[in-house]
Amino acid sequence: MLTIPLYTFLFLYLIFLVVFVAFAIMNFYHIIMTASFTLASFIITFFTFTLTILTLYFTWQVISMANWQAEVLLFNTEWLTGSVIF
């Protein structure tokens, strides 16, 4: 059987978050340096920031209840032999 621990997905999610934060910082830096303080840029930035905070909050609520020591089954040799009992 080929299994991986569930916390590897948590590490992948954290890598995604680091990349997302890097792009968000570049976005804010671009807005500040180009002095494009318009109502449209403020609304879009505020909307994106709000959705990001809500997503992080609900993600935290969901993943706090997970058992990170559980294993995810990727491949089982019994699938090929047909001896799996459901």
Which two structure tokens, joined as six digits, stand for 20? Answer: 């997302």
**What 3-state DSSP class applies to 2?**
strand
The Cα 45–Cα 53 span in angstroms is: 12
Looking at residue 5, its pLDDT comes to 92
Q: What is the pTM of this model?
A: 0.72
The Cα 77–Cα 63 span in angstroms is: 30
Rounded average pLDDT per 10-residue block, the chain, 86 residues:
89 95 91 86 90 94 91 82 66
The Cα 62–Cα 20 span in angstroms is: 20
Residues 14-38: tens digit of each pLDDT = 999 999 999 999 988 998 888 888 8
Domain ranges of the chain: 1-47
